[in-house]
């Protein structure tokens, strides 16, 4: 991975995680029967501009993510083990990192779609997708949908939080 991609990835993951923590949207462990339904946004990691909606049905078990994600119309499945797990003392949360490639229909110019993501306490997920050095990257933030929450309220809150990080 080139240094430029690495910097963009770190900035996007930092923005996504900060948006989740800063908006108060982090789901805490111990909530009643967690949902596997996620709602969120897609954004430009360079400008922090909103680029569309995101959704998914994802289950996490023992640092494994399994499910399906849709990022503004591009869907892909996930079945991935965490590459790194760390406890963040400041946020009192466990962060699990994931990195994987999607080939086949997800390739562009013979380059696989690369996905880098961080899950917070087995709940909310932020990440970035990348096709390589000269391709645009997309950041995403997915929040676990709890009962009583509307999708539009979640998207509005995430978008507002993203605006604060510009």
- Could you tell me the CATH number of the domain that includes residue 69? 2.40.128
Give pLDDT, residue 12. 54
Residue 92 lies in a domain: yes
- Which long-range contacts link 28-36 to residues 24+ away (Cβ below 8 Å)? 28/121, 29/121, 29/122, 29/123, 31/146, 34/122, 34/123, 34/144, 34/146, 35/144, 35/145, 35/146, 35/147, 36/67, 36/144
Each residue's pLDDT, cut to its tens digit, for the chain (166 residues) gives: 444 445 554 555 555 555 554 444 444 444 456 789 999 999 999 999 999 999 999 988 778 889 999 999 989 999 999 998 888 887 788 888 999 998 888 888 888 999 999 988 757 899 999 988 788 899 999 999 887 889 999 999 999 988 888 7
User: Of the candidates 17, 22, 2, which has an alpha carbon nearest to the alpha carbon of residue 128?
Assistant: 17
Phi and psi for 32 in degrees, rounded to 5? -65, 135
Task: Locate all alpha helices (DSSP H) within the chain, ordered by sequence.
Answer: 3-22, 151-164
Reported as type and span, the H/E element at residue 79 is strand 74-81
Residue 96 located in a structural domain:
yes
Query: Quick check: is 62 in a domain?
Result: yes
HSE-CB at 71 with a 13 A cutoff on CA atoms is 23
- 76, 89 Cβ separation under 8 angstroms: no
pLDDT given at position 132: 80
Q: Is residue 66 part of a domain?
A: yes
Domain membership of residue 21 as a residue range? 3-25+36-164
pLDDT number for residue 166:
75
pLDDT of 90: 76
Angle made by CA atoms 67, 99, 157, in degrees to the nearest 5: 65
Report if residue 152 sits inside a domain. Answer: yes
Q: Is 30 contained in some domain?
A: no
What is residue 15's predicted lDDT score, i.e. its pLDDT? 55
- Report CA Rg, the chain: 15
Within a domain: residue 31?
A: no
User: CB under 8 Å to 22, separation ≥6 — which residues?
Assistant: 161, 164, 165
In a domain, 128, yes or no: yes
Q: What is the total count of domains within the chain?
A: 1
């Amino acid at each position: 991975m080139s240094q430029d991609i690495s910097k963009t990835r770190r900035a996007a993951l930092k923005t996504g995680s900060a948006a989740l923590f800063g908006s108060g949207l982090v789901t805490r462990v111990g909530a009643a029967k967690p949902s596997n339904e996620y709602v969120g946004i897609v954004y430009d990691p360079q400008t922090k501009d909103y680029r569309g909606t995101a959704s998914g049905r994802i289950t996490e078990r023992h640092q494994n993510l399994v499910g399906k994600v849709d990022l503004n119309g591009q869907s892909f499945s996930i079945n991935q083990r965490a590459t790194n797990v760390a406890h963040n003392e400041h946020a009192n949360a466990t962060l699990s990192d994931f990195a994987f490639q999607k080939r086949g229909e997800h390739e562009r110019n013979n380059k696989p779609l690369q996905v880098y993501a961080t899950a917070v306490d087995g709940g909310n997920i932020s990440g970035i997708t990348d096709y390589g050095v000269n391709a645009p990257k997309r950041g995403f933030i997915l929040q676990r949908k709890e009962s009583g929450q509307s999708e539009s309220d979640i998207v509005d809150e995430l978008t507002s939080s993203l605006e604060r990080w510009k």
